[in-house]
A and B are shown apart, each in its own frame.
Chain A
Amino acid sequence: MAELKYESPQTTEAAVALLAAGGPTARVFAGGTDLMVQMHEEMIEPTLLVDIKRISETRQITFEDDYVRIGAAVTGAELGEHAELKAMWPGVVEAVELIGSYQVQGRATIGGNLCNASPAADSVPALIAAAARVVIAGPGGVRDIPVEDMPVGPGRTSLAAGEFVTSLLLPKRAERAGDAYLRFIPRTEMDIAVVGVGVSVTLNPDGTCATARMALGAVAPTARLVKAASDILVGNKLDHAVLEALAEAASDACSPIDDKRGTIVFRTKVAGVLACRAAAIAWQRAEKN
């Protein structure tokens, strides 16, 4: 039986050094709501936990010139209580707030949801739709990548040895912008997305779409950006024909599996349904801004 060590460094550099030295059985510990369950279920047996919550950058939400920086270890509850962020990116915040239960929200972090790399992670489609970027610290320094480049498969990320996520960057919003996230679960809460859809739009003064991004979760090995959505929406209003095309594009983008959470047929169909519903909400929010 290997011993388990716990460290809680106060600087990014110290965390990187610990993770690099710890090798493949070292794990980053933020909220722990996935990590602890995996340890209890004996799915993983880490030898080192590096708690990143004492590194100040990971725990802050700061408004900078062009973007909002959200620390990787900011919890769902903290995001939900941040009025300014919620007003700017309501879809991202509501996606994070869907994770787990009220109690779990006090621990679960936005960075953890991303790095756990579940294809069904609620925050990820919303973040991709928002064109968010991930800030990564590692032995080679700091780099940042688009969120969609982070997960590479179920449970796997593009992080290299010794790297960890310090924060996420959300672009600042202009006027007439809105986003939304919807998921389907067979219950009303305490469940994992069978399909998740994030949509972000900005509108022209005449009410037509200026920019649009849509991403799907739980319908492929990783959350994916539906590139066709932009072509369908930009320049148009959200009429019946556009919605039908959007639903079709969402369904076409699916390559799901049959598993305990849903069937291929169901996921493919519902992705289209939720795409239209999420787009309508994002649109409505954009019109009000």
Chain B
Amino acid sequence: MSNDQSTTNYRWVGKRTPRPDGVDKVTGRARYGDDMSVPGMLHCKILRSPHAHARIVSIDLSKAKALKGVKAVLTCAEIPDHPLSEPPYAPIINDMHDISRNVMAREKVLYDGHAVAAVAATSERIARAALKLIDVEYEVLPHVLDPLEAAQPGAPILNEDQFTFGDETEPKVPSNLFRSITGKRGDLEAGFAEADLIIEREFISEPVHQGYIEPLACIATTSEDGCVELWTTTQGHFVIRALCAKLLNMELAKIRVTASEIGGGFGGKNTIYGEPVAIRLSQMTGRPVRMVMTRTEVFRASGPTVGSRSKIKMGAKKDGTITAAEVDTWYQAGAFKGAPVGRAVETYFSSYKIANVRATCYDVCVNRPKVAAYRAPGAPMAAFAAEGAINELADRLGIDPIDFRLKNAVGEGDESLMGSKYGQIGLVEVLEKVKSHPHYAAPLGPNQGRGFALGYWMHGGGLSSVSAHLLDDGTVTVATGNPDIGGSRSSMRVMAAEELGIDIELIKPIVADTGSMGYSHLTAGSRTTFATGWAVVNAVREIIDKLRALAAKKWGISVDDVIWESGQAVPKKAGQDRIKPLSLKELAGMATKMGGAIAGHSEINAGGVGAAFSAQLVDVEVDPETGFVTPTRYTVVQDVGRAISPDYVEGQMQGGAVQGIGWALNEAYIYDAEGRLQNTGFLDYRMPVASDVPMIDTVLVEVPNPNHPYGVRGVGEPCLVPAPAAVANAVENAIGRTMSWLPLSPPKILQAIEELKLAAE
């Protein structure tokens, strides 16, 4: 199948088809994490630390164990310990030493909400009552929440066995700074010497939670032979299996994980929290154990994304050429190392051709929950700093922000700071589309401002497995190992139908469990439609080849003389037109009598990912007396490669923008002086509600990724990358001064307005 842009004469690809998961979701029949129950199951509740940082002196479980209905109580003693992992460190560090301690605190508690003990009881009420009977003696320690403070000598140390990696002085004292990653090229000094204008700014962003609607939930069942079945809400049940097996020293084949329907994840359901606890409790009791977190627990104990502090310096010539850029960014990783510093360096300045550049990101531990992935991990905060500085450069040089970016835009053959080489990319097309969009020239009213920002993301590829089965009535099941978080079943079905040449209604897409499929990596990193979709194409092409062979056998001709066209086998050569083509349905009916059932499989490690760019225009109106911000218009223009299911692609783009609005305007963790989280629910953790956002207009730019059978680029993440920067830029434009500290909440904006007034007087 050619992916040339001119051949878009598809029957299904790019069409708006009904979603295969829609009916069950609107009727409430879809089963999410906590919709499952198993006869005889116990209920697990977890005791959590009330302190931000404390040494655990002792834990007395005796009273809890004595409570009627309590079947088991565990602490870290029941969770295997593991040694610290050794370098070289992968971009995403899964250190079992840390995971073991995050699942259940060992020597110390490192954040408010850190798990300390767990109870399995015959009812949730009894389990909750038992938690109150557990006596934990703590020695409270000083805590630190800010990454810059935490990186200073003398700061309270979280992990006493952590020494800064890569420090050539071989440090003798432990540090909260785990490592830094630097990407650089050129000569900074020479670059800044060339500049006509140099700006230096500091930017701050706060950690924000993924805010998925469905809290974490699972049920673990252990058989007498030691085999475990786990039902859980996750973005990757194969990864959950791997992490649980490694942590609990079990064999992979003895854990079978089924992914429930998932109510959002955004990266936050890529790792384990309660799963190993439920497994251990089920091993201890011989009964199924169900663990459902409350929203409060989700906020206190599951990973948000990083907060950041950036010091950035950029220089440009009068003609708009960026001559040099450098940045240092401190990312707070939470209680354990693993902030997405590599991804940050990868995305810093990567939309621009800059000869002299350096970006350094620091991975720093603080007394907050360990960060998890969140939609383009590490990139939106980097874009907030970089795009903020670039907007100021363009503004002060009197150059249109789009022209400024066009002047410096990367193209085919250029490289990101971490060495990703761009192939065919749609950056210029995206920028030109923004410039010609009516939104760009629309007049603004009083107290209104317009913001713009650009975001880059290199999506993921990797391991995916697919089994496609042709059934003897001509219907097809397409099973993948990827939980459907953003419409993957629809996209898989569309690509399979396009290849097979049959109606989409004949295809049933399925998410299969870990016992039924080859390894499939997470539904994350904007990888699924790209990588798993590619495997679907391979698998159904295998079916097509088998059907051609079947037709050839029936007709007594060579398989090379049979082609597949519009859902049927057709003889290729002229003069064979007396042979009647055989449809997929006819061939399916013949298959079991002529050799056996027909299936196609694909287990791939997909490479050839394509860079994606998202540009966003946003208008806001600021109430000058209260600082309240109303986003009034929002347009997202993005290179999507090719939109397999445009409804879902637009939904992703809108969702990314909405999350960015929340991130920019109101979302933040609020701690008291003791480091206890104060806003553990959606009432005070202020994600936007529907009435807070305008219609998000979307423009799909389709510059196909030449490496993929259908030209797919990942679309889920790029759309969040520029959003906080764009909204902040709009606020700046509305009130007439720079704003560098997210969230731009009403008190902050009102203060800025008052300061401006004072300065004017």
Contact = CB atoms under 8 A, between A and B. Distances in A.
B683 A192 contact: yes
A40 B625 CA distance: 38
A188 B745 contact: no
A273 interface: yes
Given A187-B666, A187-B692, A266 B683 contact: no
Interface string B651-668: 000000000000001100
Contact of B670 (A1, A184, A260, A265): A260
B750 A266 contact: yes
A191 B751 contact: no
A42 interface: yes
Main secondary structure of the interface of B (DSSP, over half): loop
Contact of A261 (B625, B665, B684, B692): B684
Interface in A236-271: 259-263, 265-266, 269-270
A190 interface: yes
A140 interface: no
A41 interface: yes
B679 interface: yes
Interface stretch (B124-132, B230-238, B384-392): B124-132
Given A187-B666, A189-B689, A260-B684, A42 B128 contact: yes
Interface in B241-278: none
Main secondary structure of the interface of A (DSSP, over half): loop
A190 B683 CA distance: 7
Interface string A189-202: 11110000000000
A270 B491 CA distance: 49
B686 A187 contact: yes
Interface string B678-718: 11001110101101100000000000000000000000000
Contact of B689 (A40, A188, A273): A188
A141 interface: no
Contacts of B589: none
B750 A191 contact: no
A41 B296 contact: yes
B747 interface: yes
A265 B751 CA distance: 9
B628 interface: yes
B746 interface: yes
A277 to B, nearest CB: 8
B686 A191 contact: yes
Interface string B625-655: 1111000000000000000000000000000
A2 B678 CA distance: 29
Interface size class of A (residues with CB under 8 A): 20 to 34
A186 interface: yes
Contact of B745 (A1, A41, A186, A259): A186
Contacts of B625: 270, 273
Contacts of B628: 184, 186
Contacts of A262: 747
A184 B684 contact: no
B686 A1 contact: no
A260 B679 contact: yes
Nearest to B684: A260
B688 A187 contact: yes
A242 B746 CA distance: 26
Q: Which of A1, A42, A189, A265 has the most CB of B within 10 A?
A: A1
Nearest to B682: A190
Interface residues of B, number: 28
Given A260-B670, A260-B684, A184 B125 contact: no
Interface in A173-218: 184, 186-192
B670 A187 contact: no
Contact of B692 (A184, A188, A192, A269): A188
B627 to A, nearest CB: 8
A42 B297 CA distance: 13
A261 B666 CA distance: 11
Contacts of B683: 190-192
Nearest to B131: A42
A270 B684 contact: no
Contacts of B750: 266, 269-270
Contact of A1 (B129, B626, B692, B751): B129
A74 B428 CA distance: 60
A263 to B, nearest CB: 5
A190 B750 CA distance: 22
B191 to A, nearest CB: 41
Contacts of B125: 1
B620 to A, nearest CB: 14
Given A1-B125, A262-B747, A266-B747, A189 B670 contact: no
Interface in A63-85: none
Contacts of A191: 683, 686
A59 B125 CA distance: 33
Q: Which of B125, B666, B686, B688 has the most CB of A within 10 A?
A: B686
Nearest to B750: A266
Contacts of A187: 666, 686, 688-689, 691-692
Contacts of A260: 670, 678-679, 684
A186 B689 contact: no
B296 A186 contact: no
Contacts of A40: 294
A102 B684 CA distance: 19
Contacts of A273: 625-626
A265 B745 CA distance: 14
B689 A270 contact: no
Interface string B176-218: 0000000000000000000000000000000000000000000
Interface string B63-74: 000000000000
A186 B666 contact: yes
A261 B679 CA distance: 9
A92 B757 CA distance: 36
Contact of A189 (B627, B666, B691): B691
B728 to A, nearest CB: 16
A191 B666 CA distance: 12
Contacts of A190: 682-683, 689
Interface in B710-761: 745-747, 750-751
Contacts of B692: 187-188
Q: Which of B125, B626, B678 has the most CB of A within 10 A?
A: B626
A261 B668 CA distance: 11
B128 A186 contact: no
A265 B747 contact: yes
Interface in B120-159: 125-126, 128-129
A263 B665 CA distance: 16
A260 B670 CA distance: 6
A5 to B, nearest CB: 15
Interface in A16-67: 40-42
Contacts of B684: 192, 260-261
4 smallest beta-carbon distances between A and B, as pairs = A266-B747, A188-B691, A260-B670, A273-B625
Given A1-B129, A188-B691, 20 more contacts: A41-B296, A42-B128, A184-B626, A184-B628, A186-B666, A186-B686, A187-B666, A188-B692, A189-B689, A190-B682, A190-B689, A191-B686, A260-B670, A260-B684, A265-B751, A266-B627, A266-B751, A270-B625, A270-B626, A270-B750
19 contacts: A1-B125, A1-B129, A41-B296, A42-B128, A186-B665, A186-B745, A187-B686, A187-B688, A189-B691, A190-B683, A192-B684, A260-B670, A260-B679, A263-B747, A265-B747, A266-B627, A266-B746, A266-B747, A273-B625
